[in-house]
Amino acid sequence: MIRRTLACMLTLGLVACATQPHSPSPPPQASGAPNKPGVAHKGPAEAAPESAAAAAPPVDLTPVPFEVARANFVRETAARYGIPAGQIEATLAQAQVRDPIIAAMSRPAERVKPWNEYRPMFISQARIEGGRKFLAQHRDELMRVQERTGVPAEVIVAIIGVETSYGANTGSYRVLDALYTLAFNYPRSGDPAKLEREVRRELFFRDELARLFALSRDEKLDILSIKGSYAGAMGMGQFMPSSYLDFAVDGNGDGRRDLFTSYDDVFSSIANYFVKKGGWVRGGPVAVPATLASGRAPFDPTDWTPSWTLPDLAQRGYQPTAAVPAGLTATPITLEGSTGKQYWLGFQNYYAITRYNLSKMYAMAVYQLSQAIAGQELPPA
């Protein structure tokens, strides 16, 4: 979950400063398809290249012994958050390196699934009906959040449905173990071309481990018992520690931000993420189907920022098939459907969903599931 711009990282013996996408989930996986919801927070099925990642400063690829990296982590995390070094050391002494996590991160990338295969992984009649039941059960809380933030209740519910099957499967790994494993034992493929990415991934998880200490202190969480995905994502919305710290909200006013058992906090936090990170526009559209003029090639942008006006897109052959308010900007979306290419225009709210997971198909799955939960007829896959 998930916050997708890393601030300056700890040096931790490896790098002075690195900038990467941040999110409630870990950075994009190479895998062509996400893992099952709830088992681990998904990497994008088709990650969009992000300009921030492309502009990241160089990272030191020199190997650092585990003992040095760990000692640097303890010292710098203590200085960064004012947590006694002895307390951090005592906690890490109880962390376990989990081989299944390393194996999961080492799995070869799968092929990128086309839309007509991807959508059924997330949108089924059972999931639609489950979403409608969940919305009905929590309508009052969801409507309060919708009124306050402008994020529709069905979109919040769809995120929870895709991420954890409405809270039924939030992960079974100790978050401490997951982050400790990936922070100091991120698997290396031995491919020199992949080394920089692997080092950046390890540093990402090391930063998340540091933030877990701050989170457990601030929210009075037992760091030794928090459970989540094998990548360290937590709660019904699968927030990474950084996203929890930056975007979680105390929705019920009890003085804590509880993304595990408090529905008010979960709903408010997901909506807050969309508003603060994604720039959600109250009452704005998410996406509309479009046509592409015969003979025109699809335009594939480098990310999902809605940077093009409708006249710009019309010059490229795109026309929306539904009414669109004047003055909006959009991004073109091409999906491989069961009967050929599908064309859509995604607006700011579509972009906001991609901040949760850097994938055009993930965002479309969430949007279409939300529409189905709200009683709208689904378009063909």
How far is CA 89 from each of CA 65, 83, 151, 238, 336, rounded to the nearest angstrom? 17, 11, 41, 27, 50
Apex 287 CA angle, 267 and 132, nearest 5: 40
Give the list of residues 6+ apart from residue 93 with CB closer than 8 angstroms, or none. none
Confirm if 160 and 237 have CB atoms less than 8 A apart.
yes
Confirm if 302 and 47 have CB atoms less than 8 A apart.
no
In 3-state terms, what secondary structure has residue 30? coil
Neighbours of 242 (CB within 10 A): 26
Neighbours of 61 (CB within 10 A): 13
> Residue 291 gets which letter from DSSP?
E
**Please, how many CA atoms are within 13 Å of residue 162, restricted to the half-sphere of its CB?**
34
How far is CA 75 from each of CA 38, 68, 174, 241, 355, rounded to the nearest angstrom? 34, 11, 23, 19, 32
Give catalytic status of residue 163 as yes or no.
yes
d(CA 173, CA 98): 9
In sequence order, what are the beta bridge partners of 292? 318
Minimal CA–CA distance to 362: which of 166, 123, 131?
A: 123
Apex 40 CA angle, 221 and 235, nearest 5: 30
How far is CA 185 from each of CA 160, 277, 325, rounded to the nearest angstrom? 30, 30, 50
d(CA 318, CA 309): 11
Neighbours of 78 (CB within 10 A): 18
Q: Which listed residue (46, 141, 163, 208) is catalytic?
A: 163
Give me the active site residues, please: 163
